[in-house]
Amino acid sequence: MEVFVELSLIITITTLVSFIMKQLKQPLVVGYILSGILVGPLFLNLLHSTDVIEVFSKLGISILLFIVGLHMNPKIVKEVGSVSLITGVGQVLFTSFFGFILAVLLGLDTVAAMYVAIALTFSSTIIILKLLSDKGDVHSLYGRISVGFLLVQDIIATLILIIVSSVAGAGDMPLSFTLFSVLMKGAFILISLELIKKLVLPKLLEAASDNSELLFIFSLTWGLGCAALFYVLGLSVEIGALISGVVLSSSIYAEEIGSRLRPLRDFFIVLFFVLLGASMTLNSGFTLVLPVLVLSLFVLIGNPIIVVIIMNLLGYHKKTGFQAGLTVAQISEFSLILATLGFNVGHINQEILTMITLVGLITISGSTYLILYSDKIYTLIEKYLSFLELRKNNQSSTGKYAKVDTFIFGFNRVGTTFLDTFKELGYNTGIVDFDPNTLDKLPKRSNYYYGDVADVEFLSELPLGQVKFAISSIKNREANLTVLKHLAERQPKAISIIFAEDVVEAQALYEAGANQVVLPHFVGAEVTAKLIKRVGYSPASFDRKKQEHIKNWS
């Protein structure tokens, strides 16, 4: 009963702190760690049943990594794209290199510096996806690239966890023997799991799929069972949980399994972060202040700079690089799991664990506001970012005095349809985009202008004097308002058609002078409703429509 009361008090305090974090627009993980500090020995000292909570936190990590593994489908890895792969690997290499040098300069020994450097490298996919979703930027150019290189980070983090856990369990054995032993055990397990995956798992999943409770308990059994098997064979529980998820990642039930396990993960992972916060020691006092601040600034400022430079060299606009760079301006749950593992096996002491946790608190809190207000921040520091442009990415194919009848701002979403229409009407069309890959998708002799429409100087260079139509599908209200303002000044007779996300944005665009605002969901619903009225219940008609769409998209 004492454990029950203790857990109840801890969860109650964590809930109250989480409400405060929600009001501050902070990820709840910050509230969990702060709750741990509050209930730990530094303040209320409510945490006594550490053994029980440690088991629960281990369950939380295992389920978390199992779900991460479910999203590591090899097919998705192939779809990441070269820019995400190069940026992800490049950022990991440069951050770990400079992070290691910085940690050594701060007086850390080699092993501790390596842990700190690696911890600074990884960013939280879960937190970033939530923030991008809140902003509506998941499908934006920088959002797609960011999600891609965060996936690359997760894969690299998995490999590092495997190496660290393997070396940790080696004891005094030679490294070569340890690696050989791990490879042999790993090969045996992977071959066994692959055979089970092909011969047994499909039938078991199919048998469990028609009962949600059975699918839930089977998935939990599979994940924890594999983790326990890895532990029995002298390998890491964490890696066992992650690989068990990877094995199921190609299953058609992967998404459903993940969705059913998330509530369980959310509860147990709370206790991991609470225990992490409670284990922090501030006995060192002010000796931690300088290294924590320096390392936090490196993550908040240095990581985005690294990404901006890499993406600039790949041909991307500085704004795209800046916004993508802010998504790596914090350390992740992988970093904290790695630090905890290093502490448990004696590679780092409690002071280093505390240092990494404090850097996590500062960077997760700080990067949240940086991402939420990235557009305003970019406007303030745009001129300074020019110093990071090692390559001038100006791929415009037409001069500013060219005769252009129509402009399409933001090509990738709806550009092809309008380009074909304007061609039929005999109009000379200009394409404006800052995705360097757009040029490869355009017909030859297209009028292409590479740049950011939110940049007033760039807009002033465009030949807008004779424009009849201006179409914008850009998902940025401020950028669209800037386009409308310039059209009103330079060609007030132009017909402007702007795509909007909601009614409030549409009203603002109409007030700014737009001739037509398109709300895709409303238009799609209206067209579909007319189709239903016209053909009624006709599977053949809908199938023909489907084939037309597939043909057009391909």
Distance CA 113, CA 352 (A): 9
Query: Is residue 539 included in any domain, yes or no?
Result: no
Do 355 and 487 lie in one domain? The reply is: no
Q: At 317, which CATH number?
A: 1.20.1530.20
Query: Is residue 541 included in any domain, yes or no?
Result: no
In the predicted model, what is the mean pLDDT of residues 361-378? 91
Which band of pLDDT confidence, cut at 50, 70 and 90, is reported for residue 80?
low
DSSP characters for 443-477? PTT-EEEES-TT-HHHHHHS--TT-SEEEE--S-H
Q: Return the HEC string of 333-401.
A: HHHHHHHHHHHHCCCCCHHHHHHHHHHHHHHHHHHHHHHHCHHHHHHHHHHHHHHHCCCCCCCCCCCCC
What SS3 state is found at 42?
A: coil
Question: Residue 169 is inside which H or E element, if any?
Answer: none
In this predicted model, what pLDDT tens digit does every residue of 33-71 receive, in sequence order? 999 999 998 889 888 888 888 889 889 888 988 988 887
In the predicted model, what is the mean pLDDT of residues 217-230? 90
Domain final position from 386, 414, 446: 386
For the chain, the residue count is: 554
Lowest mean pLDDT among 177-181, 321-325, 351-355: 177-181
Lowest mean pLDDT among 102-106, 172-176, 248-252, 254-258: 172-176
* CB 111, CB 343: distance < 8 Å: no
In this predicted model, what pLDDT tens digit does every residue of 261-270 receive, in sequence order? 988 988 888 9
Do 336 and 422 lie in one domain? The reply is: no
Do 343 and 425 lie in one domain? The reply is: no
Nearest to 219, CA basis, from 195, 239, 183, 247: 247
Distance CA 396, CA 391 (A): 15
Query: Is residue 533 included in any domain, yes or no?
Result: no
Query: Is residue 536 included in any domain, yes or no?
Result: no
The pLDDT of residue 395 is above 60: no
Which band of pLDDT confidence, cut at 50, 70 and 90, is reported for residue 243?
confident
Query: Is residue 299 included in any domain, yes or no?
Result: yes
pLDDT, residue 48, reads 83
Question: Residue 516 is inside which H or E element, if any?
Answer: strand 516-518
DSSP state of 299: I
Residue 198's alpha-carbon distances to 77, 185, 193, 224, in angstroms, are 21, 20, 9, 20
The pLDDT of residue 169 is above 60: no
Report the number of distinct structural domains present in the chain: 2
Do 345 and 459 lie in one domain? The reply is: no
Do 412 and 370 lie in one domain? The reply is: no
Nearest to 275, CA basis, from 62, 115, 64, 38: 38
The pLDDT of residue 369 is above 70: yes
Q: Return the percentage of the chain with pLDDT > 70, whole number.
A: 91
In this predicted model, what pLDDT tens digit does every residue of 510-545 receive, in sequence order? 999 999 998 887 777 777 788 788 877 778 777 777
Do 187 and 287 lie in one domain? The reply is: yes
pLDDT, residue 348, reads 92
Do 377 and 418 lie in one domain? The reply is: no
**Sole residue written with tokens 């132009």:** 494
Distance CA 95, CA 82 (A): 19
Q: What number of other Cβ atoms are within 10 A of residue 286's Cβ?
A: 7
Do 353 and 413 lie in one domain? The reply is: no
Which band of pLDDT confidence, cut at 50, 70 and 90, is reported for residue 367?
very high
pLDDT, residue 325, reads 94
The pLDDT of residue 180 is above 80: no
Do 371 and 502 lie in one domain? The reply is: no
Q: At 412, which CATH number?
A: 3.40.50.720
The pLDDT of residue 494 is above 60: yes
Do 356 and 484 lie in one domain? The reply is: no
Helices (H) and strands (E) in the chain, counts: 26, 6
pLDDT, residue 501, reads 83
pLDDT, residue 553, reads 59
Average pLDDT for the chain: 85
Do 412 and 381 lie in one domain? The reply is: no
What SS3 state is found at 518?
A: strand
More confident residue, 431 or 539: 431
Residue 459: give the domain boundaries: 406-518
The pLDDT of residue 174 is above 80: no
More confident residue, 384 or 296: 296
pLDDT, residue 13, reads 95
Supply the pTM of this predicted model: 0.80
* CB 117, CB 100: distance < 8 Å: yes
Q: What number of other Cβ atoms are within 10 A of residue 176's Cβ?
A: 8
In the predicted model, what is the mean pLDDT of residues 361-377? 91
pLDDT, residue 3, reads 85
pLDDT, residue 115, reads 94
Query: Is residue 264 included in any domain, yes or no?
Result: yes
The pLDDT of residue 437 is above 80: no
pLDDT, residue 400, reads 56
pLDDT, residue 108, reads 93
Residues 6+ apart with CB under 8 A from 371: 128, 131, 132, 135, 326, 327, 329
Query: Is residue 7 included in any domain, yes or no?
Result: yes
Query: Is residue 420 included in any domain, yes or no?
Result: yes
Do 229 and 346 lie in one domain? The reply is: yes
